[in-house]
């Protein structure tokens, strides 16, 4: 089964956008539902982002980072 994540074509290979949302939620004792409410999204959207099946808009990505009080690069990264 191929890895999950959003693929980015770059010169020299393909990179995947990964995220730390599940880890950040655990550190902040936060459910998917709670995060979804804070960023005006659905729980299903948060689940899809966590699993790498959906790439959020920049606006939503920044809202998620702001909710955790970290920079966007601490939430989303290329692998």
Instruction: Render pLDDT for 55-70 as a digit per residue (tens, 0 to 9).
Output: 999 999 999 999 999 9
Per the structure, the complete domain to which residue 42 belongs is given by 6-78
Question: Total domain count for the chain?
Answer: 1
Higher-confidence residue: 22 or 13?
22
Domain assignment present for 34:
yes
Query: Taking Cα atoms as reference points, which of 28, 30, 37, 29 lies closest to residue 63?
Result: 37
State both tokens at 67.
């909710």
> Whole-model pTM?
0.82
Domain assignment present for 28:
yes
Domain assignment present for 1:
no
Domain assignment present for 51:
yes
Identify the CATH number of the domain in which residue 60 sits: 1.10.260.40
Contact assessment for residue 33 and residue 22, using Cβ atoms and an 8 Å cutoff: no
Higher-confidence residue: 43 or 2?
43
Sorted by sequence, the CB contacts under 8 Å of residue 13 that are 6+ apart come out as none
Quickly state the pLDDT bin for 8 (edges 50, 70, 90).
low
Domain assignment present for 35:
yes
Domain assignment present for 24:
yes
């Amino acid at each position: 089964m191929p890895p999950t994540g959003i693929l980015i074509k770059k010169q020299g290979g393909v990179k995947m956008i990964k995220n730390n949302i599940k880890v950040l939620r655990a550190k902040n004792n936060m459910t998917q539902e709670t995060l979804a409410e804070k960023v005006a999204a659905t729980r299903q959207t948060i689940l899809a982002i966590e699993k790498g099946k959906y790439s959020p808009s920049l606006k939503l990505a920044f809202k998620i980072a702001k909710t955790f009080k970290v920079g966007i690069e601490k939430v989303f990264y290329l692998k």
